[in-house]
Structures are given as structure tokens and as C-alpha cells.
Amino acid sequence: MAKEYQIAVIPGDGIGPEVVGEGLKVVKAASEKTGFRYRTIYYDFGGERYLKTGETLPDSALEELKAMDAIYLGAVGHPQVKTGILEQGILLKLRFGLDQYINLRPVKLYPGVWTPLKDKGPEDIDFVVVRENTEGLYVGAGGFFKKGTRDEVAVQEMINTRKGVERCIRYAFEYARKRNKKRRVTLCDKANVLIFAHDLWRRTFEEVGEEYPDMEKDCALVDATCMWMVKNPEWFDVIVTCNMFGDIITDLGAVIQGGMGVAAGANINPQGVSMFEPIHGSAPKYTGKNVINPLAAIFAAGMMLEHLGEEKGAKLVDEAVTRLLSSGQIKDLSTKSGLKTDEIGDMVVRNMGLV
């Protein structure tokens, strides 16, 4: 009998549960159409649980999650919980604890989706950001000295290890080769100022790059990268970058691909368990209103299927969404689209396998 995938589901806070529900509808439809088997195991980590128990993500859960085939995450963030607690205690703990050292974020404008970039279309906006996901400024190395006094000093160190940088850059080259589009990897850094940290990135990029003579290599400073993403996004194929810059440029990426409503990402540990999530947050004010467009979560589910090796299922999802967007059946990705969250999920399911 075929393997049964164990999928951990963390719906999280705010609109997380609603969009995850729609993503799972699509996974179910894919399994029925293509014949794979799976089981979902729910975890209630998030703001509500934290407010009740003071617990974010227990170490025991982290161990349990290591045995899963994938994790599907909605969103964490709660208006009554101080900023940083859930992000650090859940999201970053998962990424770090499961050594998901790649954050893969496609920036793709689908036909029919509005972009704020004038004169740019789907043929111009189609690249992938490979963000380092377990090091850099996110490590939490540093501290305060004389906190709360006028002499206060706050230090936050950017940790870059040769191993961490190298595996990320190698992943980017492999990915670009497999993707087989422009066959170009751009290193986005700030080597002119971060003369230690990003010198390591540049040297590693050059060295690893030599193993990929068939690929084009290019370096762009992060400020210039932002400019090019707006001015000439067609230049990019795969961008590889550090954790902090990856965080920032993928919000810009999300906007040029039509907004947070369609931006999804994968936190990947190629040797372990990976996690799939919409990039948007928990949008507390829309909770329970059934107005949030679930496409980002649906795209994340598609990425999960692809990662599991269910390419056929992933393709069905992608084709269904493409059809709905390009035909104008889903015109507006905002909360004012007139379409309900569950309606959009149903539309995707109905369109799967129609092409």
C-alpha cells in the first residue's frame, strides 16, 4: 500500500485557521484525484494557547514534529500577546529547531493579477528568493548593557557560518539548475559595508559557483536589488541572500506579484521535515469574517505537495489557480473582492483537473 503522509497542521491565530482550512480542502481534492494518502495531525500552538498556558512550543512537540513528512502552518500573531513572543517562541523556534535552513519564496505574477509595476507582466515577474533561514541577525546573539539607563548599549550580532552560508548557496545553485529558466543565480548582499559577514558570502558564492560552470553568476547589493526588483524584475531568476535581507526583499517581492494574498513560502530542511506557510500574518481584524482570500495558503499547500513528491497534485493546484486568475473569475485578491474565503477554496477544488 502507498505511503501515508503524516502532515502536521498548525492553524495558528487570527485568520490562520480559515485559510488553512481552504488549503487542506485543496490537498484533499489532490489526494482524491491523484491517489496519494495522508493524515493530518493538528497542533494548537498560537496566541490563545499561550494566553491560557504560558506555553509557546514545547520541546516535546518539536521532537514529535521531526517525525512528520511536512508541516502546514497558518499564521501566528495575537493582538494581546506582546510582539516577538509568538514569533520567537513558535515560528522561529520551528525554523531553527527543525534546521529548516532554506526559506524558499517564489515571486511570480500570475496572468490576470494586478501588479503595481507599470508596464510589467507575468513574463517579467517570475523569480525565486532563496533566503538563508537559520542564521544571520535572527540568531538572537547579543544583549543589553546598562539596560534602561541613558548609557544603555544594545548589541545584536549577525552570525554567519561557512557551513550555513555554503549550504544555502549550494541549494540556490541546485535549485536554479533544476528550475532551468534563466539559469542565473544572483547573490544579494551588502559586501561593501558588511566587510566581514558578507565577505564570507561573496567568497563562498565564488567558490561554490565554480562547481556550476553552466550557471550564470551575478552579485547585487541589497539596496540595488530593491531598485532592480521594481525597475527590471525580469533580470532575476534565483536570488540567494541572508536571513534579514531575504525577509525584507520578499515583502517587496510579494507586492510586485500581486500582494500578500498570493505570496507563499517554504521553510526547507532537505534532510528533515519542512514547513509550508502563507507569508501573510494573522490579520486579527478579519478573523472569522470569511473575507480573506486563501490563495497564499493554497499556494503553500501546492508547494507542500511538490515537496512531498506529489508533482501531479501540485500541478493540478497550480493550473486551477492560474485558470481562475487568468479568466478573471478571481479578479480581486483583497478582502473587498466580494468572494468569501471558503468560496475561493471551493472554486479551486472545482477547477482541479479541468485542464
Q: Using CB under 6 A as the criterion, which residues of the chain lie in contact with ligand IPM when the complex forms?
A: 87, 91-92, 247, 279
What CA–CA distances, in Å, run from 241 to 2, 28, 311?
Answer: 38, 34, 27
Least distance (Å) from ligand IPM to the CB of residue 177?
A: 26
- Euclidean distance between CA atoms 239 and 333, whole angstroms: 26
- Contact between 300 and 334 under an 8 Å Cβ cutoff? The reply is no
Instruction: Name the binder of 332 from Mn ion, ligand IPM, none, CB < 5-8 A by kind.
Output: none
Least distance (Å) from ligand IPM to the CB of residue 47?
A: 13
Least distance (Å) from Mn ion to the CB of residue 250?
A: 6
251 among known catalytic residues: yes
**CB nearer to ligand IPM: pick between 253 and 313:** 253
Least distance (Å) from Mn ion to the CB of residue 259?
A: 14
- Contact between 262 and 238 under an 8 Å Cβ cutoff? The reply is no
Instruction: Name the binder of 342 from Mn ion, ligand IPM, none, CB < 5-8 A by kind.
Output: none
**CB nearer to ligand IPM: pick between 84 and 213:** 84
146 among known catalytic residues: no
Instruction: Name the binder of 87 from Mn ion, ligand IPM, none, CB < 5-8 A by kind.
Output: ligand IPM
Catalytic member of 110, 190, 212, 237: 190
**Torsions phi, psi for 129 (to 5 deg):** -100, 125
Q: Which of 273, 301, 241 is nearest to 95 (CA)?
A: 273
- Euclidean distance between CA atoms 256 and 125, whole angstroms: 8
**CB nearer to ligand IPM: pick between 48 and 87:** 87
- CA dihedral of residues 205, 207, 210, 214 (deg, nearest 10): -10
- Contact between 110 and 331 under an 8 Å Cβ cutoff? The reply is no
**CB nearer to ligand IPM: pick between 27 and 260:** 260
- Euclidean distance between CA atoms 177 and 181, whole angstroms: 8
Q: Which of 270, 244, 251 is nearest to 100 (CA)?
A: 270
Q: Any residues with CB less than 8 A from the CB of 126 and at least 6 apart, and which?
A: 107, 108, 109, 181
Q: Give the footprint of Mn ion on this chain (CB under 5 A).
A: 247
Least distance (Å) from ligand IPM to the CB of residue 131?
A: 8
**CB nearer to ligand IPM: pick between 260 and 324:** 260
38 among known catalytic residues: no
Catalytic member of 110, 138, 171, 212: 138
Catalytic residues: 138, 190, 223, 247, 251
